[in-house]
Amino acid sequence: MIDDAVGLLGRTAVRTLRGIPVVGRLLGAAPSFDVEGRVLFITGAARGLGAEIARQAHARGAHVALVGRRMAPLQELADDLGERAAAFEADVTDSDKLQDAADAVVARFGGIDVVIANAGIAPPSDTIATIDPAAFERTVEVDLLGQWRTVRAALPAVIERQGHVVMVGSVYAFFNGVLAASYAVSKAGVEQLARTLRVELAQHGVSVGYAYLGFIDTDLATEVFADDHVGAVRQAIPGFLTRPMTVQAAAAAVLSGVDRRAARISAPGWVAPMLATRSLTTAVMDDVLMHNSGVTGAIRTAEALRAKEVVERAGVTDR
Ligand SMILES: NC(=O)c1ccc[n+]([C@@H]2O[C@H](COP(=O)([O-])OP(=O)(O)OC[C@H]3O[C@@H](n4cnc5c(N)ncnc54)[C@H](OP(=O)(O)O)[C@@H]3O)[C@@H](O)[C@H]2O)c1
Protein backbone atom coordinates (compact mmCIF):
# COMPACT_ATOMS: atom_id res chain seq x y z
CA MET A 1 0.00 0.00 0.00
CA ILE A 2 2.74 2.46 1.05
CA ASP A 3 4.87 1.13 -1.85
CA ASP A 4 2.01 1.82 -4.28
CA ALA A 5 1.55 5.37 -2.95
CA VAL A 6 5.28 6.12 -3.13
CA GLY A 7 5.43 4.67 -6.65
CA LEU A 8 2.51 6.79 -7.77
CA LEU A 9 4.02 9.94 -6.26
CA GLY A 10 7.35 9.16 -7.93
CA ARG A 11 5.74 8.65 -11.35
CA THR A 12 3.74 11.87 -10.96
CA ALA A 13 6.88 13.81 -9.97
CA VAL A 14 8.80 12.47 -12.97
CA ARG A 15 5.95 13.34 -15.32
CA THR A 16 5.81 16.88 -13.92
CA LEU A 17 9.58 17.38 -14.07
CA ARG A 18 9.66 16.13 -17.67
CA GLY A 19 7.55 19.14 -18.60
CA ILE A 20 10.26 21.55 -17.38
CA PRO A 21 12.86 22.60 -19.98
CA VAL A 22 16.46 21.40 -19.34
CA VAL A 23 15.51 19.42 -16.17
CA GLY A 24 13.03 17.46 -18.29
CA ARG A 25 15.73 16.47 -20.79
CA LEU A 26 17.85 14.98 -17.99
CA LEU A 27 15.04 12.53 -17.23
CA GLY A 28 14.93 11.20 -20.78
CA ALA A 29 12.00 10.98 -23.16
CA ALA A 30 8.47 10.32 -21.91
CA PRO A 31 6.89 7.04 -23.01
CA SER A 32 5.98 7.53 -26.66
CA PHE A 33 2.79 6.33 -28.34
CA ASP A 34 3.40 7.13 -31.98
CA VAL A 35 0.22 6.97 -34.06
CA GLU A 36 2.00 5.34 -37.01
CA GLY A 37 0.37 1.96 -37.65
CA ARG A 38 -2.24 2.52 -34.91
CA VAL A 39 -6.01 2.53 -35.37
CA LEU A 40 -7.79 5.77 -34.39
CA PHE A 41 -11.57 5.83 -33.83
CA ILE A 42 -12.61 9.47 -34.31
CA THR A 43 -16.17 10.74 -33.84
CA GLY A 44 -17.37 13.90 -35.59
CA ALA A 45 -14.78 13.26 -38.28
CA ALA A 46 -16.77 14.70 -41.19
CA ARG A 47 -15.47 18.24 -40.73
CA GLY A 48 -13.78 20.65 -38.36
CA LEU A 49 -11.38 19.36 -35.73
CA GLY A 50 -12.26 15.67 -36.15
CA ALA A 51 -11.54 15.76 -39.90
CA GLU A 52 -8.23 17.59 -39.33
CA ILE A 53 -7.11 15.12 -36.63
CA ALA A 54 -7.92 12.33 -39.11
CA ARG A 55 -5.91 14.03 -41.89
CA GLN A 56 -2.85 14.63 -39.71
CA ALA A 57 -2.92 11.17 -38.12
CA HIS A 58 -3.35 9.54 -41.52
CA ALA A 59 -0.41 11.52 -42.91
CA ARG A 60 1.66 10.07 -40.05
CA GLY A 61 0.77 6.50 -41.00
CA ALA A 62 -2.29 5.82 -38.79
CA HIS A 63 -5.41 3.89 -39.79
CA VAL A 64 -8.33 6.26 -39.30
CA ALA A 65 -11.93 5.22 -38.62
CA LEU A 66 -14.07 8.25 -39.51
CA VAL A 67 -17.24 8.07 -37.43
CA GLY A 68 -20.17 10.46 -37.71
CA ARG A 69 -23.85 10.96 -38.37
CA ARG A 70 -23.71 11.73 -42.14
CA MET A 71 -22.13 9.10 -44.32
CA ALA A 72 -21.60 11.22 -47.46
CA PRO A 73 -18.95 13.66 -46.13
CA LEU A 74 -17.27 10.91 -44.11
CA GLN A 75 -17.00 8.73 -47.21
CA GLU A 76 -15.72 11.68 -49.24
CA LEU A 77 -12.91 12.23 -46.70
CA ALA A 78 -12.16 8.49 -46.57
CA ASP A 79 -11.91 8.40 -50.38
CA ASP A 80 -9.72 11.48 -50.33
CA LEU A 81 -7.33 9.94 -47.78
CA GLY A 82 -7.36 6.56 -49.55
CA GLU A 83 -5.83 3.46 -48.02
CA ARG A 84 -5.96 3.18 -44.20
CA ALA A 85 -9.15 5.30 -43.96
CA ALA A 86 -12.77 4.15 -43.74
CA ALA A 87 -16.11 5.78 -42.89
CA PHE A 88 -18.61 4.48 -40.31
CA GLU A 89 -22.07 5.91 -39.69
CA ALA A 90 -23.05 6.49 -36.05
CA ASP A 91 -24.89 9.29 -34.32
CA VAL A 92 -23.35 9.69 -30.86
CA THR A 93 -26.84 9.86 -29.35
CA ASP A 94 -27.34 6.21 -30.37
CA SER A 95 -25.43 3.66 -28.25
CA ASP A 96 -26.33 0.71 -30.50
CA LYS A 97 -25.07 2.49 -33.63
CA LEU A 98 -21.83 3.40 -31.84
CA GLN A 99 -21.36 -0.22 -30.75
CA ASP A 100 -22.01 -1.38 -34.34
CA ALA A 101 -19.42 1.15 -35.55
CA ALA A 102 -16.83 0.03 -32.97
CA ASP A 103 -17.40 -3.62 -33.90
CA ALA A 104 -17.13 -2.76 -37.61
CA VAL A 105 -13.85 -0.89 -37.03
CA VAL A 106 -12.40 -3.89 -35.18
CA ALA A 107 -13.53 -6.16 -38.04
CA ARG A 108 -12.02 -3.83 -40.63
CA PHE A 109 -8.74 -2.78 -38.97
CA GLY A 110 -8.20 -5.55 -36.39
CA GLY A 111 -8.67 -3.40 -33.27
CA ILE A 112 -8.79 0.13 -31.85
CA ASP A 113 -5.71 1.77 -30.27
CA VAL A 114 -7.00 5.29 -29.74
CA VAL A 115 -10.52 6.65 -29.34
CA ILE A 116 -10.99 10.35 -29.90
CA ALA A 117 -14.40 11.40 -28.55
CA ASN A 118 -14.74 14.61 -30.54
CA ALA A 119 -18.28 15.01 -31.94
CA GLY A 120 -19.94 18.08 -30.51
CA ILE A 121 -22.45 20.87 -31.03
CA ALA A 122 -22.90 24.39 -29.65
CA PRO A 123 -26.20 25.50 -28.13
CA PRO A 124 -28.07 28.70 -29.04
CA SER A 125 -26.77 31.60 -26.92
CA ASP A 126 -29.41 31.88 -24.24
CA THR A 127 -29.62 32.08 -20.49
CA ILE A 128 -30.62 29.13 -18.32
CA ALA A 129 -33.91 30.90 -17.60
CA THR A 130 -34.86 31.42 -21.25
CA ILE A 131 -33.27 28.66 -23.34
CA ASP A 132 -35.64 26.21 -24.98
CA PRO A 133 -35.33 23.18 -22.65
CA ALA A 134 -35.05 20.87 -25.66
CA ALA A 135 -32.02 22.82 -26.92
CA PHE A 136 -30.33 22.66 -23.51
CA GLU A 137 -30.91 18.93 -23.20
CA ARG A 138 -29.87 18.23 -26.80
CA THR A 139 -26.46 19.81 -26.11
CA VAL A 140 -25.95 17.66 -23.02
CA GLU A 141 -27.17 14.62 -24.99
CA VAL A 142 -24.51 15.10 -27.69
CA ASP A 143 -21.63 16.79 -25.85
CA LEU A 144 -21.70 14.89 -22.56
CA LEU A 145 -23.66 11.67 -23.04
CA GLY A 146 -22.35 11.30 -26.61
CA GLN A 147 -18.78 11.22 -25.33
CA TRP A 148 -19.67 8.71 -22.60
CA ARG A 149 -21.39 6.47 -25.16
CA THR A 150 -18.44 6.75 -27.56
CA VAL A 151 -15.91 5.72 -24.95
CA ARG A 152 -18.11 2.95 -23.58
CA ALA A 153 -18.57 1.42 -27.05
CA ALA A 154 -14.87 1.48 -27.94
CA LEU A 155 -13.50 0.61 -24.50
CA PRO A 156 -13.22 -3.21 -24.72
CA ALA A 157 -11.19 -2.86 -27.92
CA VAL A 158 -9.00 -0.07 -26.48
CA ILE A 159 -8.33 -2.12 -23.33
CA GLU A 160 -7.31 -5.07 -25.50
CA ARG A 161 -4.66 -2.87 -27.15
CA GLN A 162 -3.63 -1.04 -23.93
CA GLY A 163 -4.45 2.09 -25.86
CA HIS A 164 -5.32 5.72 -25.22
CA VAL A 165 -8.56 7.72 -24.89
CA VAL A 166 -8.89 11.41 -25.73
CA MET A 167 -11.95 13.33 -24.61
CA VAL A 168 -12.11 16.50 -26.68
CA GLY A 169 -13.13 19.12 -24.18
CA SER A 170 -12.80 22.85 -23.92
CA VAL A 171 -11.72 25.68 -21.66
CA TYR A 172 -15.42 25.72 -20.76
CA ALA A 173 -14.56 22.88 -18.35
CA PHE A 174 -13.53 25.72 -16.03
CA PHE A 175 -14.66 28.93 -17.81
CA ASN A 176 -17.93 30.49 -16.72
CA GLY A 177 -20.71 29.17 -18.99
CA VAL A 178 -22.58 32.47 -19.31
CA LEU A 179 -25.03 32.19 -22.27
CA ALA A 180 -23.70 28.68 -22.98
CA ALA A 181 -24.48 26.75 -19.80
CA SER A 182 -25.43 23.46 -21.47
CA TYR A 183 -22.10 23.45 -23.33
CA ALA A 184 -20.06 24.32 -20.20
CA VAL A 185 -21.95 21.75 -18.10
CA SER A 186 -21.16 19.11 -20.72
CA LYS A 187 -17.47 20.01 -21.03
CA ALA A 188 -17.07 20.06 -17.23
CA GLY A 189 -18.84 16.70 -17.02
CA VAL A 190 -16.58 15.24 -19.67
CA GLU A 191 -13.54 16.43 -17.73
CA GLN A 192 -14.77 14.38 -14.75
CA LEU A 193 -15.39 11.40 -17.04
CA ALA A 194 -11.81 11.64 -18.29
CA ARG A 195 -10.30 11.92 -14.80
CA THR A 196 -12.33 8.99 -13.51
CA LEU A 197 -11.50 6.87 -16.54
CA ARG A 198 -7.82 7.67 -16.13
CA VAL A 199 -7.82 6.09 -12.67
CA GLU A 200 -10.15 3.21 -13.54
CA LEU A 201 -8.22 2.23 -16.66
CA ALA A 202 -4.67 2.61 -15.34
CA GLN A 203 -4.56 -1.01 -14.22
CA HIS A 204 -5.44 -2.06 -17.79
CA GLY A 205 -2.52 -0.09 -19.21
CA VAL A 206 -4.92 2.39 -20.88
CA SER A 207 -4.21 6.13 -20.60
CA VAL A 208 -6.78 8.93 -20.85
CA GLY A 209 -6.42 12.59 -21.75
CA TYR A 210 -8.72 15.62 -21.69
CA ALA A 211 -8.20 18.42 -24.21
CA TYR A 212 -8.68 21.92 -22.80
CA LEU A 213 -9.06 23.81 -26.06
CA GLY A 214 -9.73 27.49 -26.61
CA PHE A 215 -11.77 28.65 -29.63
CA ILE A 216 -10.90 26.98 -32.96
CA ASP A 217 -11.56 28.33 -36.42
CA THR A 218 -14.29 25.82 -37.39
CA ASP A 219 -17.98 25.99 -38.34
CA LEU A 220 -18.89 25.61 -34.67
CA ALA A 221 -17.03 28.78 -33.65
CA THR A 222 -18.24 30.69 -36.74
CA GLU A 223 -21.84 29.91 -35.80
CA VAL A 224 -21.32 30.89 -32.15
CA PHE A 225 -19.56 34.15 -33.08
CA ALA A 226 -22.35 35.08 -35.52
CA ASP A 227 -24.69 35.52 -32.56
CA ASP A 228 -25.12 39.18 -31.47
CA HIS A 229 -25.11 38.35 -27.73
CA VAL A 230 -21.83 36.47 -28.05
CA GLY A 231 -20.46 39.44 -30.00
CA ALA A 232 -21.33 41.70 -27.05
CA VAL A 233 -19.63 39.35 -24.56
CA ARG A 234 -16.54 39.18 -26.82
CA GLN A 235 -16.34 42.98 -26.80
CA ALA A 236 -16.41 42.94 -23.01
CA ILE A 237 -13.56 40.51 -22.32
CA PRO A 238 -9.87 40.45 -23.37
CA GLY A 239 -9.59 39.60 -27.09
CA PHE A 240 -7.05 36.80 -26.74
CA LEU A 241 -9.59 34.67 -24.84
CA THR A 242 -11.86 34.29 -27.86
CA ARG A 243 -9.34 34.64 -30.73
CA PRO A 244 -9.68 31.34 -32.60
CA MET A 245 -6.62 29.18 -33.24
CA THR A 246 -6.31 27.35 -36.53
CA VAL A 247 -7.84 23.91 -36.77
CA GLN A 248 -4.40 22.62 -37.79
CA ALA A 249 -2.86 23.87 -34.53
CA ALA A 250 -5.68 22.37 -32.45
CA ALA A 251 -5.41 18.98 -34.20
CA ALA A 252 -1.62 18.97 -33.80
CA ALA A 253 -2.04 19.67 -30.06
CA VAL A 254 -4.46 16.77 -29.69
CA LEU A 255 -2.15 14.38 -31.54
CA SER A 256 0.85 15.53 -29.56
CA GLY A 257 -1.14 14.59 -26.44
CA VAL A 258 -1.69 11.12 -27.91
CA ASP A 259 2.07 10.81 -28.60
CA ARG A 260 2.77 11.51 -24.92
CA ARG A 261 -0.29 9.68 -23.52
CA ALA A 262 -0.89 13.05 -21.85
CA ALA A 263 -3.53 13.44 -19.13
CA ARG A 264 -3.98 17.09 -20.10
CA ILE A 265 -3.76 18.71 -23.50
CA SER A 266 -4.10 22.47 -23.70
CA ALA A 267 -4.02 24.98 -26.53
CA PRO A 268 -3.42 27.80 -27.32
CA GLY A 269 -0.56 28.79 -25.00
CA TRP A 270 -2.56 30.97 -22.57
CA VAL A 271 -4.72 28.00 -21.48
CA ALA A 272 -2.02 26.13 -19.49
CA PRO A 273 -1.27 28.90 -16.95
CA MET A 274 -5.00 29.60 -16.49
CA LEU A 275 -5.59 25.91 -15.92
CA ALA A 276 -2.75 25.68 -13.41
CA THR A 277 -4.21 28.56 -11.40
CA ARG A 278 -7.86 27.72 -11.99
CA SER A 279 -9.18 28.33 -8.48
CA LEU A 280 -7.93 31.90 -8.77
CA THR A 281 -8.82 32.46 -12.44
CA THR A 282 -12.34 31.07 -12.06
CA ALA A 283 -13.07 33.21 -8.98
CA VAL A 284 -11.81 36.36 -10.71
CA MET A 285 -13.59 35.49 -13.96
CA ASP A 286 -17.00 34.96 -12.29
CA ASP A 287 -16.70 38.22 -10.40
CA VAL A 288 -15.57 40.25 -13.41
CA LEU A 289 -18.34 38.83 -15.61
CA MET A 290 -21.00 39.57 -12.98
CA HIS A 291 -20.04 43.22 -12.88
CA ASN A 292 -19.22 43.81 -16.53
CA SER A 293 -21.84 46.05 -18.17
CA GLY A 294 -21.23 44.51 -21.62
CA VAL A 295 -21.96 41.05 -20.28
CA THR A 296 -25.00 42.03 -18.22
CA GLY A 297 -26.27 43.96 -21.26
CA ALA A 298 -25.89 40.84 -23.44
CA ILE A 299 -27.81 38.77 -20.87
CA ARG A 300 -30.62 41.36 -20.73
CA THR A 301 -30.86 41.48 -24.53
CA ALA A 302 -30.92 37.68 -24.79
CA GLU A 303 -33.73 37.52 -22.22
CA ALA A 304 -35.72 40.29 -23.90
CA LEU A 305 -35.39 38.64 -27.29
CA ARG A 306 -36.71 35.31 -26.00
CA ALA A 307 -39.57 37.04 -24.17
CA LYS A 308 -40.52 38.77 -27.46
CA GLU A 309 -40.41 35.46 -29.32
CA VAL A 310 -42.67 33.83 -26.73
CA VAL A 311 -45.20 36.67 -27.08
CA GLU A 312 -45.06 36.46 -30.90
CA ARG A 313 -45.51 32.67 -30.83
CA ALA A 314 -48.48 33.03 -28.47
CA GLY A 315 -49.98 35.59 -30.89
CA VAL A 316 -49.64 33.18 -33.82
CA THR A 317 -51.24 30.36 -31.78
CA ASP A 318 -54.20 32.57 -30.77
CA ARG A 319 -55.09 33.44 -34.34
N1 LIG B 1 -14.64 25.20 -32.47
C2 LIG B 1 -14.29 25.57 -31.25
O3 LIG B 1 -14.12 26.77 -30.97
C4 LIG B 1 -14.05 24.53 -30.18
C5 LIG B 1 -13.32 24.90 -29.04
C6 LIG B 1 -13.07 23.97 -28.05
C7 LIG B 1 -13.55 22.67 -28.20
N8 LIG B 1 -14.25 22.33 -29.33
C9 LIG B 1 -14.76 20.96 -29.43
O10 LIG B 1 -14.18 20.34 -30.55
C11 LIG B 1 -15.08 19.31 -31.01
C12 LIG B 1 -15.25 19.44 -32.51
O13 LIG B 1 -15.87 20.67 -32.78
P14 LIG B 1 -15.62 21.46 -34.14
O15 LIG B 1 -15.20 22.82 -33.78
O16 LIG B 1 -14.81 20.66 -35.06
O17 LIG B 1 -17.14 21.55 -34.66
P18 LIG B 1 -17.77 21.34 -36.12
O19 LIG B 1 -16.87 21.88 -37.16
O20 LIG B 1 -19.16 21.86 -36.00
O21 LIG B 1 -17.80 19.74 -36.26
C22 LIG B 1 -18.53 18.98 -35.36
C23 LIG B 1 -18.56 17.55 -35.85
O24 LIG B 1 -19.33 16.78 -34.89
C25 LIG B 1 -20.31 16.06 -35.61
N26 LIG B 1 -21.51 15.80 -34.82
C27 LIG B 1 -22.35 16.70 -34.26
N28 LIG B 1 -23.36 16.07 -33.66
C29 LIG B 1 -23.15 14.75 -33.83
C30 LIG B 1 -23.86 13.59 -33.45
N31 LIG B 1 -25.01 13.66 -32.76
N32 LIG B 1 -23.37 12.39 -33.78
C33 LIG B 1 -22.22 12.30 -34.50
N34 LIG B 1 -21.50 13.36 -34.91
C35 LIG B 1 -21.98 14.57 -34.58
C36 LIG B 1 -20.65 16.93 -36.81
O37 LIG B 1 -21.28 16.13 -37.78
P38 LIG B 1 -22.05 16.82 -39.04
O39 LIG B 1 -20.96 17.24 -39.97
O40 LIG B 1 -22.89 15.71 -39.54
O41 LIG B 1 -22.83 17.97 -38.48
C42 LIG B 1 -19.26 17.41 -37.20
O43 LIG B 1 -18.60 16.46 -37.99
C44 LIG B 1 -16.37 19.50 -30.21
O45 LIG B 1 -16.41 18.57 -29.14
C46 LIG B 1 -16.25 20.90 -29.67
O47 LIG B 1 -16.98 21.09 -28.47
C48 LIG B 1 -14.49 23.23 -30.32
**Is-cis flag, bond preceding 123, omega within 30?**
no
pLDDT values of the chain reduced to their tens digit, one per residue, 319 residues: 455 555 556 655 666 666 566 666 677 666 689 999 999 999 999 999 999 999 999 999 999 999 999 999 999 999 999 999 999 999 999 999 999 999 999 999 999 999 999 999 999 999 999 999 999 999 999 999 999 999 999 999 999 999 999 999 999 999 999 999 999 999 999 999 999 999 999 999 999 999 999 999 999 999 999 988 888 888 888 999 999 999 999 999 999 999 999 999 999 999 999 999 999 999 999 999 999 999 999 999 989 887 787 778 777 655 5
Active-site annotation, residues: 183
Instruction: Identify the pLDDT of residue 312.
Output: 81
Mutate to test the pocket of ligand 1, among 41, 150, 216 (most ligand atoms within 8 A of CB): 216
In the reported structure, the alpha carbon of residue 314 is separated from the centroid of ligand 1 by a whole-number distance in angstroms of 34
- Report how far ligand 1's centroid is from the alpha carbon of 188 (Å): 17
pLDDT of amino acid 168 = 98
- Report the pLDDT value the prediction gives residue 1, as an integer from 0 to 100: 43
pLDDT attached to residue 203: 96
Q: Verify whether ligand 1 is closer than 6 Å to residue 139 (CB atom).
A: no
Tell me the β-bridge partners of 117: 167
Q: Give residue 247 CA to ligand 1 midpoint distance, Å.
A: 12
Question: What confidence score (pLDDT) does residue 181 get?
Answer: 98
For residue 50, the ligand 1 atom closest to its alpha carbon is 16
Secondary structure of the chain as H, E, C letters = CHHHHHHHHHHHHHHHHHCCCCHHHHCCCCCCCCCCCCEEEEECCCCHHHHHHHHHHHHCCCEEEEEECCHHHHHHHHHHHCCCEEEEECCCCCHHHHHHHHHHHHHHHCCCCEEEECCCCCCCCCCCCCCCHHHHHHHHHHHHHHHHHHHHHHHHHHHHCCCEEEEECCHHHCCCCCCCHHHHHHHHHHHHHHHHHHHHHHCCCCEEEEEEECCECCHHHHHHHCCHHHHHHHHHCCHHHCCCECHHHHHHHHHHHHHCCCCEEEECCCHHHHHHCHHHHHHHHHHHHHHCHHHHHHHHHHHHHHHHHHHHHHHHHHC
Is residue 219 in contact with ligand 1, taking CB distance under 6 Å?
A: yes
CB of 40 shorter than 6 A to ligand 1: no
69 lines ligand 1 (CB under 6 A): yes
Q: 50: CA distance to ligand 1 center in Å?
A: 7
Q: Whose CA is nearest to atom 20 of ligand 1?
A: 220
What's the confidence (pLDDT) of residue 305? 85
